[in-house]
């Protein structure tokens, strides 16, 4: 995931052709694909989604591909060692889905110019390093609509990892979506300064529930917040994966990121010699972001509303960051009639009106 994101990512982020265009008509060789994960593979969560992407590659290509994964690899020196090991073992394409893997990936890529590397959530590219990420904020906005319809207290909570642009995009989009249907709604934020720390995630959720919060969202790597909501009889927005097994009564909706099609297309491209470097930032339109998996408490009317809005986002008719937008210090960020550009979204460094919290540095 992301950590210490530099503002310079804007210059690097646009764009590869649609992934479907990279699918070859005929595969001529087999391939070894490696995957490096920043946390354990749990029942649901960040790493779970990327491992589902790996499994999708296996289903699509069968005995033409052999995949290998290494989980719970710390960002930094450990990641560099593991990535290098995979390259030395003959993997022709290696996926590294964590922002903190970006620099180690680039370093190893220089040593193995014939290996293709996929820096997922990274922004820097090289001749043999491509970058990709998803527009998570689109799903957050849609989840905010559902949360705005379901809250009784008009107070939502948000357990967040680090105050970097991707996380701020999610908090802001969630708040804007919530207030689009419930103008009285506010969102309280707790910063963890960690991506995967289940005890700390649970503690933050419990603290928010003690502050009139009856619906909660999160940008962390485990299912701890959902489990806390289930325990306390509150409602929660699942992130990364469907978490109804953890919160059968608590889950309102799930915001999921889907990697199977992208990973499969990139492996096929490497097999056929059509792999190219570049950057992808896909969302609802590209099938990389999806909302659904509604919980039993969500009325059909609300489900239909959210699904209709999801179609509008996919068609480009609804933009989560459309003006007017004011930050939570009263400054007008964007006037009515305009929408934030991709560059502005990628550089986001503020919280919108309705968020009760600060961007910690």
CB 136 within 8 A of CB 144: no
Which residues of the chain does CATH 3.40.50.2300 include? 7-135+258-282, 136-257+289-356
Query: Smallest Cα–Cα separation from 267: which of 44, 64, 111?
Result: 64
Structure confidence at residue 111 (pLDDT): 98
Residue 181 CB neighbours (<10 A): 17
CB 214 within 8 A of CB 187: no
Structure confidence at residue 27 (pLDDT): 52
| pLDDT tens digits in sequence order for the chain, 361 residues long | 433 333 333 333 334 443 443 444 455 579 999 999 988 888 778 899 999 999 999 999 999 999 999 999 999 899 999 999 999 999 999 999 998 899 999 999 999 999 999 999 888 999 999 999 999 999 999 999 999 999 999 999 999 998 988 999 999 999 999 999 999 999 999 999 988 899 999 999 999 999 999 999 999 988 999 999 999 999 999 999 999 999 999 999 999 999 999 999 999 999 999 999 999 999 999 999 999 999 999 999 999 999 999 999 999 999 999 999 999 999 999 999 999 999 999 999 999 999 998 897 6
Spelled out in words, what is the top-level CATH class assigned to the domain 136-257+289-356?
Answer: alpha beta
Structure confidence at residue 361 (pLDDT): 66
Rounded Cα distance, 171 and 175, in Å: 6
Tell me whether strands 155-160 and 186-191 are parallel, antiparallel or unpaired: parallel
CB 291 within 8 A of CB 253: yes
Rounded Cα distance, 156 and 173, in Å: 13
β-bridge partners, 350: none
Rounded Cα distance, 345 and 91, in Å: 35
Question: Per-residue DSSP letters for 288-346?
Answer: SEEEE---TTS-HHHHHHHHHHHHHHHTTS--TTBSPEEBTTS-EEE-TT-B--HHHHH
7-135+258-282: CATH number:
3.40.50.2300
Structure confidence at residue 20 (pLDDT): 40
Question: Within 13 Å, how many C-alpha atoms sit on residue 205's CB side?
Answer: 29
Structure confidence at residue 236 (pLDDT): 98
Structural tokens at position 293: 């998996």
Place of tokens 């646009």: 14
β-bridge partners, 24: none
Residue 108 CB neighbours (<10 A): 25
Write down the pTM of the prediction: 0.85
β-bridge partners, 118: 95, 130
């Amino acid at each position: 995931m992301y950590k210490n994101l530099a503002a310079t990512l804007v210059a690097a982020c646009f764009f590869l052709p649609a992934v479907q265009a990279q699918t070859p008509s005929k595969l001529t060789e087999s391939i070894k694909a490696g995957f490096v994960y920043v946390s354990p593979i749990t029942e649901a969560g960040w790493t779970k989604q990327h491992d589902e992407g790996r499994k999708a590659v296996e289903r699509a290509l069968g005995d033409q591909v052999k995949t290998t994964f290494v989980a719970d690899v710390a960002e930094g020196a450990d990641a560099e060692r593991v990535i290098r090991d995979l390259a030395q073992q003959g993997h022709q394409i290696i996926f590294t889905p964590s922002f903190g893997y970006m620099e180690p990936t680039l370093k190893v890529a220089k040593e193995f110019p014939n290996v293709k590397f996929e820096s997922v959530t990274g922004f820097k590219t090289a001749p043999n390093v491509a970058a990709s990420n998803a527009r998570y904020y689109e799903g957050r906005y849609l989840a905010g609509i559902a949360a705005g319809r379901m809250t009784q207290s008009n107070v939502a909570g948000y357990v967040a990892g680090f105050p970097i642009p991707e996380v701020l995009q999610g908090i802001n989009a969630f708040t804007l979506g919530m207030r689009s249907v419930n103008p009285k709604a506010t969102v309280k934020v707790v910063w963890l300064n960690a991506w995967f720390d289940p005890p700390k995630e649970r503690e933050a959720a419990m603290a928010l529930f003690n502050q009139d919060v009856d619906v909660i969202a999160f940008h962390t790597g485990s299912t701890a917040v959902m489990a806390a909501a289930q325990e306390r009889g509150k409602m929660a927005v699942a992130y990364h994966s469907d978490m109804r097994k953890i919160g059968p009564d608590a889950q309102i909706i799930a915001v999921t990121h889907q990697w199977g099609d992208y990973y499969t297309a990139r492996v096929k491209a490497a097999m056929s010699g059509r792999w190219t470097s570049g950057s992808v930032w896909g969302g609802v339109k590209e099938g990389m972001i999806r909302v659904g998996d509604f919980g039993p408490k969500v009325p059909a009317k609300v489900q239909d509303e959210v699904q209709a809005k999801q179609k509008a986002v996919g068609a480009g008719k609804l933009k989560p960051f459309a003006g007017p937008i004011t930050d939570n210090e009263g400054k007008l960020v964007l006037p009515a009639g305009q929408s934030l550009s991709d560059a502005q979204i990628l550089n986001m460094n503020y919280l919108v009106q309705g968020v009760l919290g600060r961007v910690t540095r």
